[in-house]
Amino acid sequence: MSSGDIKVAERILMGELKELQKENWVTAEPRNGNLFIWDVALVVVNPTSMYHGAYLKGELKMPRTYPMSPPEFRFLRPILHPNIYKDGKLCISILHPPGEDELSGEKASERWSPAQRIFTVLISILSLLDDAETSSPANVDAGVMLRNNPDLYKLKVKDCVEQSKQDIPEGFVMPTAEVKPPAKVVEDDDFWHDSDEYSEYGSGEDDEDMEFDTDDDQDDSNDSEDSKN
């Protein structure tokens, strides 16, 4: 992969990060200035959700090939849910590589595509919390409990919600507005071939207020100094 491809990925991620930081139901920050690893927290503000009031910390990793390849996500604190593994990773179609999977029966439209966004991923994760798939659970014990003893399941989930509140930062005000789902993403095969589309992520002055050091930038600086000498 060329340094140019990585810079494109960084520009896209910077734009997505700036948009996410306007939302009240999620916090997102690059870890140590690295745009490819984010520390995030999802706030469940939907009052009808079983997980209402939870502050769910997670880790989001983007490949250098983003957005051609999907990100990875895991919760940092254990959460009881049929589709969440005990290590915090999720079994959710949108995080699976592009294309149909005959083995699982997943359609290409259900899986990751370059037209998807981090915003869509996080909204999908919130939706998954109250739309569990128990037929092939990642956490078998949680799936069995939800089917056979839903009242006990709700009590266990309530415990998870209360434990998650220990991670709320001092001074953070929990939002109360209900999350609205994003507009349906329309895929366009020519999306990544039109350079004008990159203006959506800020290609000039808008990026000046959010700068990140990269190895490529350091190399360019060294080359410049050598040419002066």
| Angle in degrees, CA 172, 178, 184, rounded to 5 | 120
C-alpha distance from residue 104 to each of 28, 91, 108, 227 (Å) = 32, 12, 11, 56
Q: Could you confirm whether 91 is annotated as catalytic?
A: yes
DSSP output for 26-59: EEEEEETTEEEEEEEEEE---TTSTTTT-EEEEE
Q: Which of 62, 91, 129, 146 is catalytic?
A: 91
CA angle 144, 167, 150 (to 5 degrees): 20
Alpha-carbon span 25 to 111, nearest angstrom:
24
Only one residue has tokens 């259900």, namely 110
Q: What is the strand order of the sheet 72-75 is part of?
A: 26-31, 34-43, 55-61, 72-75
**Active-site amino acid positions:** 91
